[in-house]
Structure 1
Amino acid sequence: MPAPSITFDELPSGARAAIEAETGPILKIENVSTGLNSSLSARAHTAGGVAFLKGLRADHRWVWTQRREADVNPYVTPLAPRLLFHVIASGWDVLGFETVDGHHADYSPGSADLAKVADALQELASLPCPDIELRLAEQRLSSYVADPADAEAFAGDALLHTDWNNHNVLITHDRAHLVDWGWATRGAAWLDPAHWIIWLIAAGHTPDDAEELAGRLPAWASASPRAVDAFAHAGVNLWEEIAGSAPDDWTMTLRDAARVWHRHRKVRS
């Protein structure tokens, strides 16, 4: 279930004061649509510029993703917007980032954004995985594979983003920026292109075309066909769990895309 949304003005006064201690006096707030993993999402305009605020209640079950984003940020800028501050006050945990003025990536066939997203994937694959606490891909996916031993193929030493929702990819004139690093993971380098494939199929690509795009990335060459088959199987189970018994439009689209890719892999093998 998504985190319940809240506006900046609905925060406790102590939390607002702690944020303004970092930003300076806030002249204007733009509350924006929140994602699944945050309750507060807003742009704070001050005399010094604009900060993007992202927050959760300090007792929320996903609040650990706030710490994960804070910990990983120094290692992923400028691929990601720079973290300006992290405050915990009055029962709220809030991150403040530099604002990126761009549009959400368009994953549809023929989109000019695809090349920039591929460049971001390649840039991420070139970064060393920091020595910080991260979830392990083989553990995250172990309950979704057909055989527990299949998850061993997901282990590795690469830093992964894992959430390739196009709303987490902001396109500017010169590059793609990745946001929402709460689910950063350590694992095999080819897994991020594999996650991307499901989103590409959901955006209208055929499985062959989506795999062809992923195949342009050097990291993809390290994946064995059997390992990719295991991930495609896990992807179906993962998205069926996310969609649940009463999926909304976007989760149903991703679930169906995962099913299409899995069938494609089974037929080809």
Structure 2
Amino acid sequence: MSSRLDWQELPADVRKAVEDRTGLVRNAESASVGRNSAFAASLHTTDGPVFCKGGPTDSPQAVMHRNEAEVNPFLPAELAPRLLWRVEQDGWLLLGFEHVSGRHADLSPGSPDLPFVASAIEKIGTVQPPAARRMIADHWEAALANEPANEWAARAPRHMRGATLVHSDLNPLNILVSDTARVVDWAWWRIGAAWIDPAFTVVRLVAEGHSPRQAEEWAAQFEEFRKAPAEAVTAFAASLVCLWGRKFTHTAATEAARTWTEHRKANGPRLR
């Protein structure tokens, strides 16, 4: 999302529908990060602050907002902000969330935020997800079908099946830390193997300055990651390079995925 609309740029009837739920909006502070919402802002209202995000119902991003609305009732209050209301009006879908304070997580080596992040990942793994659909293995298989052949990456989907809720986008911008860590932006949630979110976090740790070995040692505190087949983790790392390499060629996350994959190939299982 290249730019966002301000509060006053939303259609008048849409703003009224929101204020029917929040009270008068005195001030709206646009979010400085994120790319999937045409509108995202902290609304300071007569009834208190609320975080509001959304966009046109005919946009590709609308399904992401519906995904968030679907999974939110299953998430513990100590893990994610509560969805307070949703508005569908004049071709717009807006979601209103509990406003939580916090800063974006610091994932650098030695950061005091790392135990909070680990606790949040543990909580995600205990959530009973919505009905078994949105399987990450199926999504991964379809996405890889559109990429150039890669023998390692092609093995990833077969290892990714499971019944655990997966956030799948645990980058620092999606983790707010205060006296705990709360995870936001659940647009990409899926269901799959319990080691997947720890593995996603390995990439983010490498991007923030950990060596691949250090990042894997951190992720080994999760039993599911520790017990994951070595081939599964290597294939997953290679699949990230395939899926991110074309669209996000020079980002820190893609470079971290490449570094991790090279480490895995040099020190892990061989193709058989």
TM-score (norm 2): 0.91
The yes-or-no answer on 1:159 pairing with 2:165 is yes
Question: How much has 1:218 moved relative to structure 2?
Answer: 2.1
Q: CA RMSD in A?
A: 1.5
* Partner AA of 1:177 in structure 2: R
Q: Which runs of 5+ in 1 are unaligned?
A: none
Deviations 1:85-129 (A, max 9, x none): 111112211110001110000000010000000010011111222
The yes-or-no answer on 1:198 pairing with 2:207 is no
Question: How much has 1:219 moved relative to structure 2?
Answer: 2.3
SS at match of 1:159: strand
What number of residue pairs does the alignment pair up?
260
Distance, in Å, in 2 between the alignment partners of 1:118 and 1:25 is 39
Within 5 Å, which residues of 2 pair with 1:164-175?
A: 164-173=170-179, 175=180
* Partner AA of 2:89 in structure 1: A
Distance, in Å, in 1 between the alignment partners of 2:89 and 2:182 is 29
Within 5 Å, which residues of 2 pair with 1:1-12?
A: 2=1, 4-12=3-11
SS at match of 1:141: helix
Within 5 Å, which residues of 2 pair with 1:118-157?
A: 118-131=118-131, 134-142=133-141, 143-144=143-144, 146=151, 148=154, 150-157=156-163
Distance, in Å, in 1 between the alignment partners of 2:128 and 2:61 is 26
Deviations 1:42-96 (A, max 9, x none): 1111222100011121111121111111111011131100001111112211110
Distance, in Å, in 2 between the alignment partners of 1:158 and 1:228 is 17
TM-score (norm 1): 0.92
Identity %: 38
* Partner AA of 2:176 in structure 1: L
Distance, in Å, in 2 between the alignment partners of 1:234 and 1:200 is 18
Does the 8 Å contact 1:125/1:219 carry over to 2?
Answer: no
Q: Does 194-203 or 234-243 show the bigger shift?
A: 234-243
Deviations 1:216-264 (A, max 9, x none): 01221341101001101101112213315xx5xxxx2111111000000
* Partner AA of 1:192 in structure 2: D
Segments of 4+ moved more than 4 angstroms: none
Does the 8 Å contact 1:66/1:95 carry over to 2?
Answer: yes
Distance, in Å, in 1 between the alignment partners of 2:27 and 2:257 is 41
Look up the match of 1:100: 100
Look up the match of 2:260: 261
* Partner AA of 1:202 in structure 2: A
Distance, in Å, in 2 between the alignment partners of 1:5 and 1:28 is 16
Look up the match of 2:147: none
